[in-house]
Structure formats: C-alpha cells, structure tokens
Chain A
Amino acid sequence: MVKKFFERFYVGFILFFLYAPIIILIILSFNSSKSRSKWGSFTFHWYKELFKNQSIMNALYTTLIIAFLSALIATLIGTAAAIAINSMKKTPRTIMIAITNIPMLNADIVTGISLMLLFVAMRYTLGFTSVLISHITFNIPYVILSVMPKLKQLNPHTFEAALDLGASPVYAFFKVIMPDIFPGVLTGFFLAFTMSLDDFVITHFTKGPEINTLSTKIYTEVRKGIKPEIYALSTLMFIAVLLLLVIINRRNADKKQPVRKI
C-alpha cells in the first residue's frame, strides 16, 4: 500500500516537473503587463492582439508550411527509400542505415552549420528553400525508421500473387503493400512534422532575413522580452494538440483496437 502510494507520488512529481513551465506560460498569456517579470491583471487582450500581429502570424504560417512540406517530401522520399533498403542485400543495407543514422547522431549545431556552409559555398541565397531542404534532410531518417519495421512484417507473397493475377506493379503496390505499411508512413509523417515544428538550431543557421519560424522569432525576442502574443499563440497550439490527442485516444479506446504507438 505504501509502495503504491509512493509510486503514484513519484509519477505525479515527474509530471508536475514536466508541466510546471507550461502552466507558467499559460498563466503569462493572461498577464496584462508586457513584462515577463511583472503581473498586471487578468486579460484576454493578447489573444485579440495575436490575430492582428502580422509578423507572428507570418511566422506561424511559415512554421506550419515548412513543417507540412518537409514532412510530406520526407515521407515520399523516405518511404521509397525504406522499400528499396528493405529489398537490399545485407552489406548495402548496413551502409544505407548507417548513413541514415548520421543526422540523428550529429549535433544539431553541426548539421545546421554544415548545411549553411554548403548553401553559402554554392552561393545559394539563404531563405525559405534552404530551411525547407534542411528540414527535409533531418526528417527523412525519422520516416525511414518508422516505415522499415512495417515492411519487415509484410508477407511478400501477396504482392507476387497480385502480380500473377495480372495487376500492374504500381497498382499492386497501392492495393497490397500501401495499406499495410500506411500506419508506419503516417507515424513517420507526424513525427517529422513534430520535429520540424520544434526545431530551432538548424533553422537558426540556415534561415535568411526574409523568413522567421516561431522558434527563430522567439529567439530574437528572448533578449528584449517575449511579446505576450507569443504566449497566447503557444497556449492555443498546445490546447489544440491536447484536444486532438484526447479525441484520437477516445476513438481508439472506443474501437477497442490495439493502439498504435505514438
């Protein structure tokens, strides 16, 4: 009994640790004072201001579009690559997986800097495309590593059977293989989306003056004091994702299906 209580307490403690800063940020979004270190009074003012603030909305838009495009392109390239790697012999497969691991092991700062040096060396103007390329680069591995296990579980004979029955390879692929690996592809996409959304360091080094993502926007504001609209925006995003996850969780629980991880 004591043990049980202790365990509950421990989980509670860790969750409190993880969520305390988030509670603070949510509280700050209702603070009428502009300064982080002074409490004015309770207000919804910043939520109204938020939608009028062009530069924050632009940053949000850039962030979402980069997250979406990079996740999408990474999913296409990564899924194709995973299928190819899966059909390779042991040695090339080992090499390919080793390369896939490089961006994961490399420090963000080194990946970001090396990409920046490349763009500058090629006289390529830093901007939207350079950030997008960088995000795709660090996203592909997440997709590959999500799709690979699903491929390994596939029964190869269904695909061959489809071919024998006269399906074209493309048709057979979409009818036979795709449905089975789709959960993995989806996981990869969402993981890539999240990683892109949260990235600061790589964007910091590869961006040009014309664009700001939320991360880089916040970083410039860290020094002068964060605009309270940012707290409001983050609160909205957080609550949106929270609701989404709760709904998905409900639905899955209702269906009593085995729940997919992440």
Chain B
Amino acid sequence: MRKYIGISVILILMALLAGCSKKDGEKVYVYNWGEYIDEETIKLFEKETGITVVYEEFEQNEDMYPKVQSGAVSYDVVCPSDYMIQKMIENDLLYEPNFDNIPNIKYIDKSYLESAEEYDPGNKYSVPYCWGTLGILYNTTMVDETIDSWGVLFDEKYSGEILMIDSVRDAFAIALQYLGYDLNSTNETELEEAKALLQKQYPLVQAYVVDQVRDKMIGGEAAIGVIYSGEAIYTSRENPDLEYVVPKEGSNVWIDGWVIPKNSKNKENAEAFINFMSKPEIALMNFDYITYSTPNSGAWELIEDEEIKNSPVAFPPQDVLDRCTAFRYLGEEMEATYIQKWNEVKGE
C-alpha cells in the first residue's frame, strides 16, 4: 500500500515539475496600473510577435518607483504618470528608446506630444498611453445641488458621504487648488494650510480610496467621490445617476506614458510592445475596455459611438483643459515633505 503511495507521489511530483518548466522564449516584463489594459490586446501581441508578456500591476506612482529603482525585478515597459516620468529621467533610470522601432508614434496627436514635452523634453523617453483629468463624481439622487467646486469635499453637510482619494499628490492638489494655490506648490505655509484643510476634512471622509471608489460609487455607498476622468465613463455606464465634473477652481490634467527602464533586459521587445499598443486599432480596444481617454488620434477617429467621441468627460473642451495644470516633479526633499504631511493627515 505504502509503495503505491510513494509511487503516486513521485508521479504527481514529476507531472507537476514537467508542467512547471516554462518555455524560455522571448519575454517582455510589463508593469502597469491596475486594470489599465484590455487583456485581449496582450494576447494579440503575443500571437503576433511570439513574445511572452509577463504582466504586473501597481496602484500608485509612488509604489512603482522603488520597485523599478531597486532593480529587484528588471521591468521592460512601465507606465508612470508625467511627474514620475520626469523624476525617473532626472534620476537617470530611463533608457532612450530607438523610435525607428516605434513608428506608430505618428498616431499620437501632436498636441499631446507637445504637452509631454513639459516632463519629457524632446519626447525622448516616453510615448503617451492615456490621459485624463481629476474630478468629482457625484450621485445625483443623493445630492440636491449642482456641484462645480472642490468645496463640497470640505462641506460638513456631506459628512460620511465623501470618498477622498488616497494618493499624496492628488489629495494635496485638491486642497491647494481649493485654497487658490498652485498644485505644484513648494511653499511651506501654503502646504501647511493645505494640510490643515485636509486634516479638517478627515472626520468628514468615509474612506480613503483609489481604485475602490468605482465599486463604492456604483453601489451608492457614498454621495461624492474623487475620481480620474477615465473611470467616470465606466461608472456612469453601470449607474446612470453618477455625474462627473471638473471643478471650477481647476484641477490636474495628467498623461501616463510608456517608458523603458535602463535596467531592462529586453529593450527591443519593449519597443515592439510600445509600438503595438500605439496602433490605432489596439489603442481603440484599450479605450473601449478601460475607458480612459486616448491620446491616439488614429484611435479617436475609429470611435464609432458619436456620443463617446464627443464626450466632454473623455475629451473635455478647451475651457476645461485651460483651468487644469499638470504635475511637475518637485525633487526628493519636497516629495518627502508631501508624504510626511499626508501621513500626518491620515494618522489622525
């Protein structure tokens, strides 16, 4: 009897080991935001190129940076936001891709490449993937007024109804802009004022969330939430009572772009991946799936639904964009100050 057990154990073990040995082919390690790609497009890429995609997700820029920097894992393609790309360029973490291998960059709209120059002068390191604004999502059945200001987030009337964003720069941007300051402020008194405002907000907040805001707003858990514009299309699809607005005080406009870290081991595969994702049809698939605005004009032209093509949420009019500012990287010291102050807010 025991003999049989022994034999079967060995057999199972062998079967498992055989299944476990992976094909050692071409690979590309992609590190992207959570739910930020249509998995179909990855399969199409694998089929077309024969390169295996190893895919991992992060929740915030601040989580991604140390992982890339420490080099514990060498990623080939990463998708940080503007200010984080700037930081990575300044700290010499990025590789200058050979744009001959990324011809599809021609589909990226000129205006976005121009905006990208602010953090990536000369467009040498990054290829824009998605962009959007930061704004307020509110449930029209739970709020009587028309919302157009960040002020509602600090209004005691909505105590317990507010979902605040759990991301340092975004949270401070909201407070700074509500106070009338620049969202890239490095002024100590302004930051202290913003911190005090956020501390005053703490008891009103139901929860600090990033991605979870989606489910909670759809389910009607809260009346007001801070959200990225890309999520707003999805949420209003699931729950038509939800309305998105970019407050009048102004907001943050951001671009997330593909970059290749210096310690990447498969740089050519990385370029192929970026090129593939910039194809209009592929960009469109991703837009349809994740509903974040695409800077790909080729993809935009392919959008069939006129309502979405002209959606003020996905492609806001110029006057909205005019009151939005992009984040800049503020230096290591300032970054630590922000984090410290944010911890003081949350450690209440």
Contact = CB atoms under 8 A, between A and B. Distances in A.
Direct contact of A and B (CB under 8 A): yes
Instruction: Provide the main secondary structure of the chain B interface.
Output: mixed
Interface residues of A, number: 24
Contacts of A69: 13, 16
B218 A72 contact: no
A223 interface: yes
B59 interface: yes
B331 interface: no
Nearest to B209: A223
A209 B16 contact: no
Contacts of A125: 72-73
Contacts, number: 62
B29 A220 contact: no
A68 interface: yes
Contacts of B54: 209-210
A224 B220 CA distance: 16
A209 B52 CA distance: 13
Contacts of A12: none
Contacts of A65: 16, 19-20
A54 B219 CA distance: 28
B211 A224 contact: yes
Contact of A38 (B12, B55, B59, B218): B218
A6 B8 CA distance: 49
A35 B73 contact: no
Interface in A52-69: 55, 61, 65, 68-69
A38 B210 contact: no
Given A35-B215, A37-B215, A69-B16, A120 B221 contact: no
Contacts of A223: 34, 59, 209-212
Interface in B1-15: 2, 9, 12-13
B75 interface: yes
Interface string B44-66: 00000000001111010000000
B115 to A, nearest CB: 27
B218 A37 contact: yes
Nearest to A55: B39
Interface in A107-145: 119-120, 125-126, 128
B20 A38 contact: no
A19 B17 CA distance: 36
Interface string A207-219: 0111000000000
Contacts of B16: 65, 68-69
A149 interface: no
A35 B56 contact: no
B90 interface: no
Given A35-B238, A72-B13, A209-B73, A220 B34 contact: yes
Nearest to B27: A210
B35 A224 contact: yes
A5 to B, nearest CB: 39
A61 B17 CA distance: 12
A43 B17 CA distance: 36
A224 B34 contact: yes
A36 interface: yes
The 6 closest A-B pairs by CB, nearest first: A37-B219, A223-B211, A209-B56, A224-B35, A225-B215, A224-B211
Interface of B: 2, 9, 12-13, 16, 19-20, 29, 31, 34-35, 39, 54-57, 59, 70, 72-73, 75, 209-212, 214-216, 218-221, 238
